[in-house]
Amino acid sequence: MPKITIDGKTIDLPAGATILQAAQALGIYIPRYCYHPALSVSGTCRMCAVEVDKAPKLQIACATEIADGMIARTDTAAVKKARKDVLEFLLANHPVDCPICDQAGECSLQDYYMDYGLHKSRVAPEDKIQRSKHRAAGRYLVLDNERCILCTRCVRFCDEVTKTNELTVSGRSDASFIDIREGKSLDNDYSLNIAELCPVGAFTSRDFRFKQRVWFLKRIKSVCTGCAAGCNIEVHYNENTVYRLMPSPNPETNTWLCDRGRMTYKALQAGDRLRKAFVKKGSMEIEPAIRHAAHLLDEAARKTGPESVVVLGSPYLSIEDNLALAELAATSLKTSNLCLDFPREQGVKDGILINKDDAPDANGLKLLKARYAGLDQGALIELINSGRIKLIVAEARALSSLKEKLRELSNIETVILAVTKSDLDFESACVLPYAANFETEGHFVNYKGLLQKTTPSVAAPDGVKPLWTVLSKLSSCTGAPIRLEDAAELRERISEFIK
């Protein structure tokens, strides 16, 4: 393997590695704009220039492969001058509207100017070339051409990752600008990644614009539950409000995030978020509604026996919540009518990330099915359609997924568990709200069998609790508690599934 020495430190790496990669492996940071580890190398910005022994002039580290015995330096006067000159060139026509730019605080132009630039502009503001500002670019993005440094990361993303080719560089020389190709709209399923990989504030997210200065944001790692991919995310939040989701790259799951996944946090603040329970369409405090649900369960069991009640698990719920549902059926209601069988077609749908299965935990549900067995889906549908069932306890989306197979539900009462009203697809005698995945810890198994957990970043609305807590209270009200009183107890109970 070729051996290279950078700033006095030596490393050997496989042939084909670049000076920038070698420096990174040695813990030496080389500034860059156009380089992105998940895109092809374009070598357009020249910010990564370094000195290489025996080379007549500076070389760009992102595009220069290492050679055995190579010696490079990243901290010489010539390198520092080159960085300063590149910055002066990039900023010559830049509007420097940092006070109103969303990228402020995480902008490489700002950061590198402070680290390497600190030059006085030789171009007066009135002489700067003006370009279009705040141009709508698809559903989620805004493009400000004046701020663009023409690194072409956005163009390469659309060409190489989504392969939708919406963007191009139009014009020549200092009249060049990023443009949307004629007849195209920047609406691919991954468009918000462009706002993230743009190193300056040229592409910004319409959703995040002007909502929060980035230095106020706190960050916590979690998992997207928008589909079975189980993408790793970083939740950016402040004062009990989530502002955006960013990828937390993991070679086993994701480099990017899809737009739908990035928007999953919207359910937290949605106008149809359930903050109270509903009983016969009337709003009710949650505790009395739980007692009402227990009464419905008691009545059904008293009149027609426990086998007139069905409990459904859900591929949309965490292992914790499904365990509580299984325990409710087995321990509390003593019905054998438990269904944990939700077969789903899984696999990457678009060759990038999005999974055919929009539920995050069908594989976690299988772990519980191995332990609790229960009805398969065919038997469940037959049973419900037979008319022998008087009451169903189910998470809203799991019940909706059966809708087409169910003939008639109007003579069956339901206790439905939901986060938002839009999840509800059925009239229900009782709707109980529960905490969303950003508000509670929960384990999920993605389509590859990877066990991961969500981390709470914000608190649920007053009185709204994790679903396993709601079900534990419900079981206590029926007189046969499943005893999931606190997180320690829960962890102990699910330990056999999350080894």
Q: Is 342 in the site for ligand FES (CB under 6 A)?
A: no
- Angstrom CA distances, 406 to 280, 316, 393, 400, stand at 21, 20, 15, 10
Q: How far apart are CA 45 and CA 328, in angstroms?
A: 61
Q: Which is nearer to ligand SF4, 278 or 316 (CB)?
A: 316
- Residues 56-85 vs ligand FES: string with x where CB under 6 A? ----x-x-----------------------
Of 131, 448, 437, which Cα lies nearest the Cα of 261? 437
Give the residue nearest to ligand SF4 (CB): 261
Angle subtended at Cα 449 by Cα 444 and Cα 451, rounded to the nearest 5 degrees: 40
Q: Is 34 in the site for ligand FES (CB under 6 A)?
A: yes
Query: What whole-number distance in Å separates Cα of residue 361 and Cα of residue 359?
Result: 6
Look-up of token digits 């993408």: 231
Q: How far is the CB of 168 from ligand SF4 (least distance, A)?
A: 11
- Residue 306 lies near ligand FES (rule: CB under 6 A): no
Q: Give the binding range for ligand FES (CB under 6 A) out of 37-45, 132-140, 301-309, 378-386.
A: 37-45
Minimum CB separation of residue 398 from ligand SF4 in Å reads: 18
Residue 35 binding target from ligand SF4, ligand FES, none, CB below 5 to 8 Å by type: ligand FES
The conformation of residue 229, written as its DSSP 8-state character, comes to T
Classify 329 as helix, strand or coil. Answer: helix
For the CB of residue 383, give the shortest distance to ligand SF4 in the complex, in Å: 33
94 is a site residue for ligand FES (CB under 6 A): no
Q: Least distance from C-beta 195 to ligand SF4, angstroms? A: 9
Q: Which one of 39-47, 126-134, 234-242, 433-441 is the stretch in contact with ligand FES (CB under 6 A)?
A: 39-47
Least distance in Å: CB of 158 to ligand SF4?
A: 10
238 three-class SS: strand
> Degrees (nearest 5) of the Cα angle 326, 290, 483?
45
Judged by DSSP in three states, 23 sits in helix
Contact 417, 470 (CB under 8 A): yes
Phi, psi of 478 (to 5 degrees): -80, -5
46 makes contact, choosing from ligand FES, ligand SF4, none, with CB < 5 to 8 Å by partner type, with ligand FES
Tokens of 152: 């072409």
Work out how close the CB of 309 gets to ligand SF4 at its nearest, in angstroms, rounded to a whole number: 33
Q: Are 132 and 148 in contact (CB under 8 A)?
A: no
Cβ(61)–Cβ(48) below 8 Å: yes
CB of residue 40 vs ligand FES: minimum separation in angstroms? 12
Residue 248 or 414 having the CB closest to ligand SF4: 248
Residue number, 48 or 223, with CB nearest to ligand FES: 48
Distance between CA atoms of residues 220 and 456, nearest Å: 8
**Interface pick for ligand FES out of 2, 13, 24, 43 (rule CB under 6 A):** 43
Shortest distance in whole angstroms from residue 24 CB to ligand FES: 12
| Residue 34 and residue 80 in contact, taking contact as beta carbons nearer than 8 Å | no
Length reported for the chain: 499
Which one of ligand SF4, ligand FES, none interacts with residue 45, CB within 5 to 8 A by kind? ligand FES
Instruction: Indicate the pairing of strand 49-52 with strand 59-60.
Output: antiparallel
Binding site for ligand SF4 (CB under 6 A): 148-154, 178, 198-200, 202-203, 224, 226-227, 229-231, 254, 257-258, 260-261, 353-355
Helices (H) and strands (E) in the chain, counts: 14, 22
User: Least distance (Å) from ligand SF4 to the CB of residue 191?
Assistant: 12
- Chain residues binding ligand FES by CB under 6 A are 32-35, 43-48, 60, 62
